[in-house]
A and B are shown apart, each in its own frame.
Chain A
Amino acid sequence: MSQAAVISHAAYAEHAEALGFWRKYVFSTDHKTIGKQYLGISLFMAIAGGFTAYAIRWQLAWPAAGIPGLGAITPHAYNSLVTMHGSIMVFWVAMPMLLGAFGNFCIPLMLGADDMAFPRLNMLSVWIFFTSALVLLASFVAPGGAAASGWTAYTPLSDTWTSAVWGQTMWLFAVALEFASFLIGGINFLTTAFTRRCAGMTLWRMPLLVWDEIAASVLFLLSVGPLVAGAVMLLMDRLLGTGFYDPSKGGDPLLWEHLFWFFGHPEVYVVALPGFGIMLEIMPVFARKPIFGYRTIIYSTIVAVGLSLIVWAHHMFVSGMDPRLATPFSVTTILISVPFAIIVFAMIATLWGGSLIFDTPMLFVIGGLASFIVGGVTGIFLGSAASDIYLHGTYFVVAHFHYTLFPVTFFGGYAGIYYWYPKMFGRMMDERLGKLHFWLTFVFFQATFIPLFLAGIGGTPRRVFMPSAYPSFASLQPLQVMATVATIGLIASQIPLVVNFFSSMFRGALAGRNPWRANTLEWTVDSPPPHGNFPDPPVARRWPYDYSVPGAASDWLPQVAETNPPAGIKVQRAS
């Protein structure tokens, strides 16, 4: 077996030599290149998403002033901006960053595989995704403007022809393409994890990031189907004039809400789990301590995946659905905080008593964890029907979900970028710029969303073009202004990242194979790894979290290390 693998590696090397520029960097089947392509697209789309955030916030703070760079906007254009902000950030930033980029880059390397199970399908998925991004961006200039019915595309807003005729249909097509891309990607992740692991890499030795990526893929695969069916029906309604969501034709607009949130709520975990995976992967390295409760974390993840399929109606407490559904969905929603609390406590216990090294990746992990806890705790208020009826549709909800999604997407994603950048590009990122980036981002993030919690508790409704027009909310306007100033600061805080990202490619210190002294398999090969990844097929001889093992020569034992600890020493194990 190893001989065959060596031959195939030689073939890889020869093959890589023969590839021209286009096949090597653009139409590549190499999972590492594809991961970088996803990362590039997601960071580019984050600029578009950030611009919409800026425009929305400016409108809310100074509605009379006109948005610099965009001018005065109509209420319809404001709805478009909100719709596109949500769609872009969830589908075109969070998913490609956390699943596309780190899933593709890390899974084969961490499992000791030469590539994904289906490299050509992988290339197909990134190009479908690229197309979907183009369709979405094109809808901005479509006649009638971009989709304006929210990222949830609630019927009948999305079902009628009154506005955004082209924009809404293009939005549907873009989302359909995006789903196709991530379905192909998810099938690829799952098949790779189950068939391409190197010798010794049992399921219970897989790094937690891989576990989280495949859990997210299973969840996406299971939750997206009914929404695809719903989207087919919506498309039929829009293009053919059927009446699935039209009460005047016997349909029911609530059907869409059920189908959307059956996907939409699990989608939060599709994004959150890989974000957690990145955090869990980085923590032990910078705490120099084994992960706490490896198997418990995995079991909790599986329980969370199962529960997340039966919580969706907590988005619909005030929608007019049967009120008898409120209690069961409150119960499941509060229940799902249990597995997540277990994961969070496992993270804290991993940090407890470690020799923490506060390099940039670790700062983003700890900052992300701290912020996510705020998001999780405020979720309890929205999950129980009684308090949700008051808070529903206010800025409290906006602040809550930004406190969950921003930490996993950006704190988690940035942690991943700073941590794996040396492996991706062979050079270290600048630590001083990185720390500056972290502190500015952390402070401005809190300053943006804490005022929105307060505005929400005060009752300010979201999705309103000009809340200050209502006399009862006029006194809360200073909170909106503060959030807007902080948002502009938050966007400006990303400048150090951009400078760091590009200048480090040329001027960063050479990273070497294992700059962080980490255990997982990707750190045993060159940075960046060659096409085909491993010159010799690796053998995993232990779990990936043997840090500070008593009696060992160094404070880390890579997964390939053969050394046993001296006899008689009890080591904390996975179970």
Chain B
Amino acid sequence: MRAILKPMGLTLVLYATTASAQAEDVTTFTLDNGMDVVVIEDHRSQALTNMVWYRTGAADEPAGKSGIAHFLEHLMFKGTDKMAAGEFSATVAANGGTDNAFTSKDYTAYYQQVAADRLDLMLKMEADRMVNLQMTEQDVATERDVILEERNMRIENSPQALFSEQADAAQYLNHPYGIPVIGWRHEMEQLNQQDALTFYHQYYAPNNAILVVAGDVEPDQVRELANQYFGPIAPNPDLKPRVRPQEPPQLAERRLNFSDPRISQPYLVRSYLAPERNSGDQRQAAALTLLASLLGGDSTTSYLATKLQFDTQTAVYTSASYSGMSLDKTEFNLIVVPAQGVELADAEKAMDQAVADFIAAGPDPEDLERIKTQFRASEIYAMDSTNSRANRYGAALAIGLTVQDVQDWVPTVLDISADEIIAAAKTVLDRRASVTGFVTPSEPVTTGTEG
């Protein structure tokens, strides 16, 4: 089957063509009030995705108010002085569209998918709620119950998610990334209307926002409508630089034991504090991205899979993951699910030995080339989803990257050498900056009794 590798030279030419085509259909500009705009043209259908991103997320919350960024996201659907509670989404639906929103540690985004000729209305409504939010005490109280149920669903009902919260809290000694996006329950229960409005007035302003419109649109049309609706909104002069408390040197590895009767399959997780992508400086993040792919990206061919699942039957599942898409330092993660009868401590030893062997030997050139081939192709496949492209640009700009950084990313990854990957591994895979978690079943409580 070696023959199948031959035509890759041809595809290289093709990739280059597509990458430049991708750059051509992205337009970016800034309104006079500081609001950034990205337009991604895709005329294959008559639909569009409209997104407004705010450069604020859970890591920007005041101490003791965890969850307020996400709670505000919910309350942004509760109306303005012009629109009643629920009217925003009802109007989108009445125009045949769908809408939703999401909050992360670094950003909050609102979006609609709708026919392209409804852009005018979407921008008008988004501009309205950027400054005119209103809500009743009753709406706030009911919605707080909703987010508590959301926490129940996402976290309390999932022992894996409960453990992740504890692990994040242990990973960050000082930075607010250690606090869950949805909030600690005891703080969520106390969040009120004033907390939400304070956060809103501080962070929701055109000079802290990015408009991304992707689909069957022309940049000039978006420019005109953005100026019409967002242009009149005054910037917030009191917006401060995004400086969060940073991590001190991490000098002591942390080890967690977590048990829950709802865990049936033991597993271990290792996370290391890791650098993120920075504007004009993405090489180390690119090296870590390749490192994660090589170590534990593919469930069959990765180094950990080979050593722990094929050469030995130590594990049934292994993975390594890293994403540099954050404003501040992030994590490099390893997971091992041991085979039946293998102790977690032995699985951990095998994992550490495999990582050490990988660093000593360096990446296999064929493996590295294969992974880079997939990165090249990802540029082509990414063109298929307008939504994903809108998300990619929006998230990048929200964490301080530029359109140029987004377009440089794949070429940067392709340019990384084996030596850079090993250097990044040696720097980042430092046990002193790591958290290791053993997640195990505890004695189940007898079912059939009322608790």
Partners in one complex: no
Interface residues of B (CB under 8 A from A): none
Interface residues of A (CB under 8 A from B): none
